[in-house]
A and B are shown apart, each in its own frame.
Chain A
Amino acid sequence: MNANSSTDGRPLALQAARCGNCHGYSYPANVPGCRHCGASPEAIDTIDCMGAVPLRNVVTVYAPLAPGLAVPAIIGEVELCPGLIEEVRIDAEDEHAVPPGTPVRPVWIDDEHGGGWVFRAATTAAASVKGDVR
């Protein structure tokens, strides 16, 4: 069992990689090298990214552009760690409920594709937990 997994295999925390050489961040945590300086995996540590971060940008995707993407889908960009901007799924009523600047936090959701991280407005993340969410 992975140290970052619960007994049922679900990850305990969203993690990224932090390079011990240049201190740059990469995603995901198991990258085979630092995308900044190219350091080998032995030089890379993992860090948890469970804190709230501001949503930088957001759009609604209307067409099924990727396998496993139920539409309409809200897709945003967050700075997961300093300098590490990632495209993420946003769980919200619609994009107007999460304008840029909204603090969002990662939440793991189980689904038919094996589950994944979505980001929810930080103020409502705790209150909106459903049976299939942790």
Chain B
Amino acid sequence: MSHPTSLMQQRPVYVIGIGMHPYQFPSETPYPQLGLRAVREALADAGLAWPQVQSAFVGTAALGMAAGRVMLRHLGSTGLEVAQVENASASGSTAFRLACLQVASGERDVVLALGVDKFGDGRRAVLKDGLPPLSPTANVPLVKFALLARRAMREGGLRIEDLAAVAVKNHGNASRNPYAQFRKPRTIEQVLNSPRIAGDLTAMQCCPRGEGAAAAIVVSESAMRELGLDRSRAVRVLSSVASSEELQQDAPALVELVRKSSAQALDQAGIGPRELDIVELHDAFTIEELLYSEAIGVCETGEGATFLARGGSQIGGQCAVNPSGGLIGMGHPLGPTGIGQVAEITRQLRGEAGDRQHPGARLALAHMIGLGSVAVAHVLSRG
């Protein structure tokens, strides 16, 4: 069996255009309006016309069958390839990965990755597998993370204030992000006094339900040259990795999944975790950011909380973690979330993130988890 080929061994792939529909609470807005706004913004950002896009991968977890073509026809029926991608929370990340692989392989030169979602009924295939769980919460991520947080508090000395500090940082970052669902800074007291949901997790430590859209257009070197695109604003995708959970005896399987997938992505990109300037990760619940920061290696194991407390993960710190506001602050509409991470990273690496700009951002990791569990990771660099 041949060894997997990394992105660096294929044609270079660049993000040339990004666009967003702000994440928002569930509304009556039809999904094409969300998605088309993001696509039009990405086209304008790239300096491309719709007929120049050769294929589109549409990530969505809740819209249902064939959302992509129904929406994209309003941009013109150009005959492009359209495929819908569902991978739970990692739907957008997977759409982005497929777009990158298509350009890297040489099959296409200009590919759109679009994530779009409305808040759906939350029905999951695992509820139809004919295997009743012992607890009705067995497939509810929030409860798993509440249990994980409790374990970290009992065994690792984590305090509830340490969990709340993640929400304070990310709500603060989101307050400076015009695409974020939450736009108010919060205090430790506000976070801790919000309604308890499960264990030590309060409402402000959990991502909201919502909707929105995010788009990224990736291109080849030759497309940039032949179409006269602005190379100075291009962000290179150095690696793309996807994997799923393995059974673990000791460490939490999900944390191990993050550790292995991020290590693989960084290895393929040829960099170490301490070289990262930006990490966008799956902080659906506060405990995740602390554990995943350690697993990715931006800080030592067991030091996630102190890393945050001393400013290491703040904008302007060693490595800005979730400068967008993350899933807790910016929102987590599922399909768009992973591409929203890429959009934020692209903005940061270009130096276009305004008052939430991380100074000198050069290397970044987008890391996403999906129900199941699956992981998708991308490393991006300036220029």
Q: Which residues in A have their C-beta under 8 angstroms from that of B197?
A: 61-63, 65
Is B135 an interface residue, CB under 8 A from the partner? yes
Is A87 an interface residue, CB under 8 A from the partner? yes
| Nearest-Cβ distance from residue A13 to partner chain B, whole angstroms | 13
Cα separation A66 to B134 with both chains bound (whole Å) = 13
Given A35-B247, A61-B146 in contact, is the A87-B198 Cβ separation under 8 Å? Answer: no
Contact B131 A30 (CB under 8 A): yes
Q: Which residues in A have their C-beta under 8 angstroms from that of B132?
A: 28, 116
Q: Which residues in A have their C-beta under 8 angstroms from that of B199?
A: 59-61
Contact A61 B134 (CB under 8 A): no
Which residue, of A27, A75, A83, has the highest number of chain B Cβ atoms within 10 A?
A75
Cα separation A71 to B144 with both chains bound (whole Å) = 16
Contact A59 B198 (CB under 8 A): yes
| Nearest-Cβ distance from residue A83 to partner chain B, whole angstroms | 6
Q: Which residues in B have their C-beta under 8 angstroms from that of A83?
A: 247, 249
Q: Mark A68-109, 1 if CB is under 8 A from B, else 0.
A: 110001010100100100111100000000001000000000
Cα separation A67 to B133 with both chains bound (whole Å) = 13
Is B178 an interface residue, CB under 8 A from the partner? no
Contact A100 B154 (CB under 8 A): yes
Is A133 an interface residue, CB under 8 A from the partner? no
Cα separation A126 to B90 with both chains bound (whole Å) = 46
Contact B134 A62 (CB under 8 A): no
Is B309 an interface residue, CB under 8 A from the partner? no
Given A58-B150, A75-B135, A100-B154 in contact, is the A66-B140 Cβ separation under 8 Å? Answer: yes
Q: Which residues in A have their C-beta under 8 angstroms from that of B137?
A: 61, 65-66, 69, 73, 75, 87
Is A134 an interface residue, CB under 8 A from the partner? no
Q: Which residues in B have their C-beta under 8 angstroms from that of A117?
A: 134
Is B143 an interface residue, CB under 8 A from the partner? yes
| Nearest-Cβ distance from residue A118 to partner chain B, whole angstroms | 9
Q: Mark B193-204, 1 if CB is under 8 A from A, else 0.
A: 001111110000
Contact B146 A59 (CB under 8 A): yes
Is B142 an interface residue, CB under 8 A from the partner? yes
Residue in contact with B135 in the complex, picked from A28, A60, A88, CB distance below 8 Å: A88
Which residue, of A36, A73, A80, has the highest number of chain B Cβ atoms within 10 A?
A73
Q: Which residues in A have their C-beta under 8 angstroms from that of B196?
A: 62
Q: How many A-B residue pairs have CB under 8 A?
A: 82
Contact B134 A59 (CB under 8 A): no
Contact B249 A59 (CB under 8 A): no
Q: Mark B122-136, 1 if CB is under 8 A from A, else 0.
A: 000000001111111
Q: Mark B366-381, 1 if CB is under 8 A from A, else 0.
A: 0000000000000000
Give the interface SS of chain B, mostly helix, strand, loop or mixed. loop
Q: Which residues in A have their C-beta under 8 angstroms from that of B198?
A: 59-63, 65, 75
Which residue, of B135, B142, B144, B195, has the highest number of chain A Cβ atoms within 10 A?
B135
Is A46 an interface residue, CB under 8 A from the partner? no
Q: Which residues in A have their C-beta under 8 angstroms from that of B144?
A: 87
Given A28-B132, A66-B136, A87-B138 in contact, is the A75-B143 Cβ separation under 8 Å? Answer: yes
Contact B136 A28 (CB under 8 A): no
| Nearest-Cβ distance from residue A85 to partner chain B, whole angstroms | 10
Cα separation A66 to B139 with both chains bound (whole Å) = 9
Q: Which residues in A have their C-beta under 8 angstroms from that of B247?
A: 35-36, 83
Q: Mark A24-45, 1 if CB is under 8 A from B, else 0.
A: 0001101100011000000000
Give residues 171-207 of B contacting A (CB, 8 Å).
Answer: 195-200
Contact A87 B131 (CB under 8 A): no
Cα separation A88 to B136 with both chains bound (whole Å) = 8
Is B151 an interface residue, CB under 8 A from the partner? yes
Q: Which residues in A have their C-beta under 8 angstroms from that of B249?
A: 83
Contact A89 B134 (CB under 8 A): yes
Cα separation A35 to B134 with both chains bound (whole Å) = 17
| Nearest-Cβ distance from residue A26 to partner chain B, whole angstroms | 9
Q: Which residues in B have their C-beta under 8 angstroms from that of A77?
A: 147
The 10 tightest CB contacts between A and B, nearest first, are A59-B199, A66-B136, A61-B198, A87-B135, A63-B197, A69-B136, A59-B146, A88-B134, A62-B196, A87-B138
19 sampled A-B residue pairs with Cβ under 8 A:
A30-B131, A31-B131, A57-B150, A57-B154, A59-B150, A59-B198, A59-B200, A60-B199, A61-B199, A63-B197, A65-B137, A65-B143, A69-B136, A69-B137, A75-B137, A75-B143, A87-B133, A87-B137, A88-B135
